[in-house]
Chains A and B, each alone.
Chain A
């Protein structure tokens, strides 16, 4: 009887509710995206170079860190820059028992035979914001900043030890 002719009735109130929900979601998405974009757009762009230190690298891994390699962020996968210089020093070991000297005591220092601290200089496309803070992608480039270093077949945590500020015109 009535069930055979039953139609889905288009309720105006339901339409209003649906439109309100869609508007709220669209506004939220717009606010989030535009906030991120405005942060990026206020940055002056250019090239900068910075040096990171990778501590205690096994001797066998040294050949994987070479000039010319592209460095990526191992967390986000974003390209950071290109290696322009590599330098290594044997990793220091600081003893836990004081060493006696003529003047008293000092901290004993020696070096590992097969571990190296690797200093990698990277050239990257960067941005600098109104405060003078440099960014490569979303990574702040400051002395002490963590850079999740990745080159083919090698990843490690590294820390910025030096950078040359970008010249902003």
Chain B
């Protein structure tokens, strides 16, 4: 009895092996689907929003290099192209500091600049708001690190506005 079974041994079809193979096939299928799904998701990011931003306390050289209208904006985290700079201007940084008698006055910093402007960024609109690049929720007060081909800055979002799609 056992001899007959053993003499025919070659590929013994073990149930555990079947489960393992099916699991591996499922993993491979999942990876392929994930890759294609992500690429579809990136192509679907046709929504745009106007993001108002500010940058505080940078050098004049940084401000001058960053504030180039229509330049491409990239994410410092993953190098994705996020959109473009619509408008940007810079002025001497305004500071509120104390006077000798204890009141507050606004003075300008002689060496540091503040930048304000708007960016046109791609992403998707969700019920929570606009997702920049489909990843980062754009909320007022949030900071993101972005760069152009000349400078890198940490911008603070000050406004999020829908942008009409041009047909």
Contact = CB atoms under 8 A, between A and B. Distances in A.
B149 A132 contact: yes
B17 A106 contact: no
B95 to A, nearest CB: 6
Query: Could you tell me the dominant secondary structure of chain B's interface residues?
Result: mixed
Contact of A104 (B21, B24, B105): B105
Nearest to B109: A107
B99 A105 contact: yes
B98 interface: yes
Query: Could you tell me the dominant secondary structure of chain A's interface residues?
Result: mixed
A107 B150 contact: no
Contacts of A142: 147-152
B12 A13 contact: yes
B62 A92 contact: no
Interface residues of A, number: 31
B61 A16 contact: no
A120 to B, nearest CB: 16
Contacts of A14: 17
Interface in A85-138: 92, 94, 96-98, 100, 104-107, 109, 131-133
A43 interface: no
A9 B62 CA distance: 69
B108 interface: yes
Nearest to A146: B152
B50 to A, nearest CB: 23
Interface of B: 9-14, 17, 20-21, 24, 27-28, 58-59, 61-62, 65-66, 72, 74, 95, 97-100, 105, 107-111, 147-153
Interface of A: 9, 11-14, 16-17, 20-21, 24, 92, 94, 96-98, 100, 104-107, 109, 131-133, 140, 142-145, 161-162
